[in-house]
Amino acid sequence: MTPELLEALKQADPVDPAEIRTRPRPAETLAAIIAAEPDANSRGSRLRPTRLIPALVAALALVAVVAALLPGSAGKASPEAAEALSQVAGVAGAQTSTGPTSGFTYSRQIQADRLTTGTGDSPAFSVLVPTRIETWVAPDGSGRVRGVRQGVEWPGPRDERRWRAAGSPPLGAERSSDERFGPGELNDTGAEGNLPPTRELPADPERLAEIFKAEAAISSASVPVDVKSFEYATSVLLQAGSSPELRAALYELVAGIEGVELTGEQRDPIGRTGTAVSIDTDYSGAPTRYTLIFDPDTSQPLANTERLLEPQDWIDGDLLGYAVLERTSHVSSLRDRPKH
Amino acid sequence: VRDSAARQRFEDIWNEHYAAIFAFARRRLSADEAAQDVAADTFLVAWRRLDEVPDEPRAWLLKVARNVLSNYGRGRGRRQALQARLIATRETPTTDAPREATDGLAAAFNRLKPSDREALALVAWEELKPREAAQALGITAPRFSLRLHRAKQRLRKELAASGHVESGTPDEDVGLGPKGDSPDLRMETR
C-alpha cells in the first residue's frame, strides 16, 4: 500500500484514537480486575457473571462459590452421552479419507444469525437471518464461496408484530456474495476465532483438547472452558472436508467434556433426524443449551443449535441460532453441484 | 494473590494499552459501553494469565480482544435486552468497517471481505507491524504478509472499479506463500 493510501485509510478510522487516549481509564474496572482471583475461572465453571462493570467482584465471588460446588475436574460427559459419542467416533474411525485428488470438495451449509433489536422505548424483538453458504474447495486450497441470504425467520408472531410496530426497520444488510479464491486461500482456515487451520488439527482427542483449552482460556474471562471447547468441537465438525480421523477425535473429545448430556433423538432445523448431545450454560446471562446433532450411522454431523432454556422478553421463542451442514460431496468443477 | 510487582506490571500494561484495546473494540461495536465490556474482559484475561503476557503485550492483548469480541456477540443482545436499554444491535460484531463511509476509499474498504478489512485495519488503524499483526491473528508473519498483500490488491481493485485512482507505486509482490484465510461469510456465524 502506498503511504498516501495508508494515510487515507487512517483518515477513515471510525474512531478518533487521539481523543480516546485523552479519556481517563476506568479506575473502578481496574480495581475490580485486580480484586479477581488470578485463576478463578481457569477450570471453567459453567456459570459466569453477566457483566463486568461494576459488579465484577461480586460476580466473580459467585462464580468461585459455584465452581467449588460443582463436581470435580475429571471432565466427563454423562455415561449415556459418552457411550453415544464413543460409538459414533468408532463409526468415523472405521472410515477412510476420501478427499479428492482432483475436482472440488463441495459443501452446502445454512447458518442462521440472530438479530436482537430495539430502539428507544420500543420493545425488543429478535429475528433469525439464515444464509446458505456453498463452498467448492480444490486440493490446492483454491475455490469458490457463494453465500445467499435466505430471507428471515421470525421466532414467533410477537416479534414480527413488534418489528412492524417499530416501522419495519431494515433487518441487517443484504449480504450475498460469490467469490473466487486462489491457491491456499481456502484450506488453511480455522473453524472459529484463532483456532489453527482445520487441516492442521491433530486427530488425537487429548491434543485437540489441549489446543481448544488453550484457545478457550484466552477467548474470554467469563466463557467456561468446557462450554467453549464444545463450541469449538461442533464448529470444526461442521466444517466441510474434515477427515474421518479428525471427526472421530472430535467426537471422543466431546465425550470427555464435563456437562455434556445425551439429549436423544432429535430433528435438526431442516427436519433430519439424528442423535443429539448438548451442554447447558448461562454464561451469557440467560440459560442456554448448545446442541450437536449427528447421524450415528454415518458419523456425519448434521447441525448445531443454540436454544434458550427459559423464556426471555427479547425473543418470542427459544431458537437463538443454528448451523446446518446440508450436503457435502465431490464435484468436478466450480459450477457443479451434487445432483441431489 | 498477586504480589505487588505483578500488580505494578499489570497496572503499567493497563495504563499503556487500555486506550488501544478500547479503540480496537470500539471500531467494531456500536457503543462505548460495549467496547468497555470487551476491553475489561480482555484485561481480566491478561490479569489471570499475567505470566503469559509478553514484554511487548499489544499484539497479545489484541489477540485476546479478538477472541473476546467473537464471544461477545453471543451475550450482547441478551444483556442489553435484559437491562432494557436497547440500541440497534447486531448479534455478531461487525468487523473493521468505518461506520460512516463518506468517501470512495471508505466505501471500497467496506466492500472488502472481513478478513481483508481486518488485515488492513490492524496495520492502518491499530498501527501494528506485520509481525505484530501476525501474532494478533495467531498466524505466521509470512502468512500475514501474503494476506495483507492480497487485501491491498483487492482494495486497489475496488478503488479502480469505483473510479478512484491511487497514486504511487504498488507494493512489491511478496511471492508465493502460505495462504489466506476464511471466506467472507465466516464472520456471519452466530
The pLDDT value recorded for residue A308 is: 92
CA–CA dist A156, A318 (Å, integer): 9
- Given an 8 Å threshold on Cβ–Cβ distance, is B37 in contact with A8? no
Give the pTM. 0.72
CA–CA dist B42, A20 (Å, integer): 17
Residue range A236-288, pLDDT digits in tens: 998 866 789 999 999 999 999 999 999 999 999 999 999 999 999 887 678 89
SS3 A229: helix
B14, B48, B167: residue with CB nearest A38: B48
> A6: part of which helix (H) or strand (E)?
helix A3-11
ipTM for the complex shown: 0.71
The pLDDT value recorded for residue B172 is: 32
Asked if B14 has any chain A CB less than 8 Å from its own CB, the reply is yes
Residue range B128-184, pLDDT digits in tens: 988 888 888 877 787 788 888 888 888 888 888 877 654 443 333 222 222 222 222
Q: Give the least confident one: A164-178, B56-70, B91-105.
A: B91-105
- The x, y and z cell numbers of residue A305, run together, are 443449535
CA–CA dist A123, A288 (Å, integer): 22
A122, A147, A284: residue with CB nearest B75: A284
CA–CA dist B189, B91 (Å, integer): 10
Q: How confident is the model at residue A64 (pLDDT cuts 50, 70, 90)?
A: very low
Asked if B142 has any chain A CB less than 8 Å from its own CB, the reply is no
The pLDDT value recorded for residue A92 is: 95
Pairing mode, if any, of strands A273-281 and A261-267?
A: antiparallel
Q: Chain A: nearest CA to B55, how far in angstroms? A: 17
Say what the alpha-carbon torsion angle B106, A114, A129, A264 is, to the nearest 10 degrees: 140
Residue reference for cell 459467585: A62
Residue range A81-108, pLDDT digits in tens: 999 999 999 999 999 876 667 889 899 9
Residue range A278-336, pLDDT digits in tens: 999 887 678 899 999 999 999 999 999 999 999 988 889 999 889 999 998 889 999 99
The pLDDT value recorded for residue A255 is: 97
- Given an 8 Å threshold on Cβ–Cβ distance, is B44 in contact with A15? no
What's the angle, vertex CA A171, arms to CA A267 and CA B25, rounded to 5?
95
- Given an 8 Å threshold on Cβ–Cβ distance, is B103 in contact with A30? no
- Given an 8 Å threshold on Cβ–Cβ distance, is A111 in contact with B68? no
Q: Which residues of A301-311 are buried (b: 16+ CB within 10 A; e: fewer)?
A: bbbbbbbbeee
CB A203 within 8 A of CB A245: yes
Mean pLDDT of A164-186: 78
A39 to chain B: which residues are within 8 Å by CB? 48
B103, amino acid identity? D
Paired residues of A323 in beta bridges: A111, A304
SS3 A129: strand
B47, B79, B137: residue with CB nearest A34: B47
CB A304 within 8 A of CB A115: no
Asked if B81 has any chain A CB less than 8 Å from its own CB, the reply is yes
Q: Chain B: nearest CA to A108, how far in angstroms? A: 13
B86, B178, B184: residue with CB nearest A188: B178
Q: How many helices (H) and strands (E) does chain B have?
A: 7, 0
A306 to chain B: which residues are within 8 Å by CB? 74, 190
Nearest residue to A287 (alpha-carbon basis) of A275, A278, A299, A297: A278
Of residues B70 and A288, the one with the higher pLDDT is A288
Does residue B99 have a pLDDT over 80?
no
A29 to chain B: which residues are within 8 Å by CB? 36, 39-40, 43
Residues comprising chain B, all counted: 190
